[in-house]
Amino acid sequence: MKFTQKPWAEPFKIKVVEPLKVTTREYREQAMKEAGYNTFLLHSADVYIDLLTDSGTNAMSDNQWAGMMLGDEAYAGSKNYYYLESNVQKYYGYKYLVPTHQGRGAENLLSQCLIKKGQYVPGNMYFTTTRLHQELAGGTFVDVIIDEAHDPQAEHPFKGNVDLNKFEDLIKKVGSENVAYITVGATVNMAGGQPVSMANIKAVNELAHKHGIKVVLDATRAMENAYYIQQREEGYQNKTVAEILKEFASYSDAATMSGKKDLIVNIGGFVAVNDWDLFEELRNMVVVYEGLHTYGGISGRDMEAMARGMEEAVQDDYMAYRIKQVAYLGEKLDAYGVPMVKPFGGHAIFLDARRFYDHIPQTQYPAQALAADLYVDSGVRGMERGIVSAGRNKETGEEYMPKLELVRLTIPRRVYTQSHLDVVAYSVAELYEHRHKTKGLRMAYEPKYLRFFQARFERL
Ligand SMILES: *Cc1c(COP(=O)(O)O)cnc(C)c1O
């Protein structure tokens, strides 16, 4: 037998294990029904392979755990804060740091500081918590991502790019004084984990600054984005992920960060800025919503783990493993003809529920149904990213009908092996083969905010 490809493997070995519960199909059918066909409402103990999210579900290294013992839990001026600050300066290049309990804490502070009621906030596709904080601060989100991002089959290498014409049209239409700032998300979660090119963020920076508009980077997965630039963009092949990350961040004025993603920790986030006055305002706000400005709602040990995770995550061999593992699952499913978002994303594989369950109309929540079916079939937990996640228009009350109706299979960092992913691929392929047997859902309970977290459904 000959190998067709040079194999890759995890650049770490296993020191501690966490046993998993294996359940029967009948058990899972009951559990899914009790959870209202919403995978967010399952007990994690009932889940075999948990691909709900890569947020805070990462496996920390021995080095990070050792760092946890060096937590300086002083109320003010913790040494872990200064270490985190110096690493943010070193790897991202921002001058000032305000830690927060997680990404949405950072989004709240920044939105409150920068958005005046009635202003517009363009961005390369919405993210749930980001858009909500912008709206709660009185802003209106405007999607300025390129059209390809809304097409699951468009093979664009940088599908997360901002459409400069859409951005410029908005400025012309409403006036630059009515644009609070532009958010650039890297890699774009809701588009399927799609990266932004260096050329694009640079051009966004130039256009925004020409009109006196700030660029805010959603840096949650900017390291993963940097790896894509290294792999796909002319002129970056010989640069390290760390070098690319720093250049990328240099085209923004501020960043909000969920450390629970790129930084391989379980909790934490920050907002980082270059402008002293904005920093002052953020420091005034953080004490109201999070905690003192040198701990921002997390403990010293968590800041230490985040600072160490930053050093580990930016290594080229780690990042190559990370992205290749996700692609491994994608390639397996591709071999079975399963419809997915292409190219494969950085943190997840997105099943295209619209084509997968082409007999279920969007108003009967095909992606929600597919996520439920996958759990019942094999104990694998994914998440809906479609009409349920998109929610309702705050003016008209009507459901948004997003073009993308997806099930996200998100890969936690350093947690699962290739064998786990083989089990996932097998189950998805089985469901695809018998896809016409399933029916849609109706929503039985709808929460007011971010409904996808707690909504309940019934089988039609
Ligand atoms: C997770 C996430 C956030 C919010 O961060 P939390 O830590 O979950 O509060 C913001 N933006 C993006 C792109 C994310 O993936």
Instruction: Identify the band that residue 91 occupies on the pLDDT scale cut at 50, 70 and 90.
Output: very high
Instruction: Identify the band that residue 1 occupies on the pLDDT scale cut at 50, 70 and 90.
Output: low
CA-to-CA distance for 233 and 222, rounded, in angstroms? 15
Q: Which residues line ligand 1 (CB under 6 A)?
A: 55, 102-104, 127, 129-130, 185, 189, 218, 220, 258, 260-261, 269
Residue 3 vs residues 11, 208, 321, 326, 421: alpha-carbon distances, Å: 20, 49, 19, 20, 20
CA-to-CA distance for 133 and 348, rounded, in angstroms? 24
pLDDT in tens, 162-221: 999 999 999 999 999 999 999 999 999 888 889 999 999 999 999 999 999 999 999 999
Active site residue 128: yes
Active site residue 413: no
- 27 Cα: distance to centroid of ligand 1 (angstroms): 32
Identify the CATH number of the domain defined by range 25-54+316-459. Answer: 3.90.1150.10
- 277 Cα: distance to centroid of ligand 1 (angstroms): 25
Instruction: Identify the band that residue 72 occupies on the pLDDT scale cut at 50, 70 and 90.
Output: very high
Selected residue with higher pLDDT from 38 and 6: 38
The mean pLDDT of 271-299, rounded to a whole number, is: 97
pLDDT at position 367 over 70:
yes
Instruction: Identify the band that residue 6 occupies on the pLDDT scale cut at 50, 70 and 90.
Output: confident
pLDDT at position 115 over 80:
yes
CATH of the structural domain 62-313, one choice from 3.40.640.10, 3.30.70.260, 3.30.200.20, 3.90.1150.10? 3.40.640.10
Average pLDDT value over all residues in the chain: 96
| Residue 212 DSSP class | T
Active site residue 24: no
Residue nearest to atom 10 of ligand 1 (CA): 103
The mean pLDDT of 388-398, rounded to a whole number, is: 89
Side by side, the strands of the sheet bearing 406-410 are: 348-352, 406-410, 383-385
pLDDT in tens, 248-274: 999 999 999 999 999 999 999 999 999
pLDDT of res. 450:
87
Domain definitions of the chain by residue range: 25-54+316-459, 62-313
Selected residue with higher pLDDT from 6 and 367: 367
Which residue reads 């630039």 in tokens? 229
Which residue reads 């780690």 in tokens? 318
CA-to-CA distance for 440 and 458, rounded, in angstroms? 9
Residue nearest to atom 12 of ligand 1 (CA): 220
- 193 Cα: distance to centroid of ligand 1 (angstroms): 13
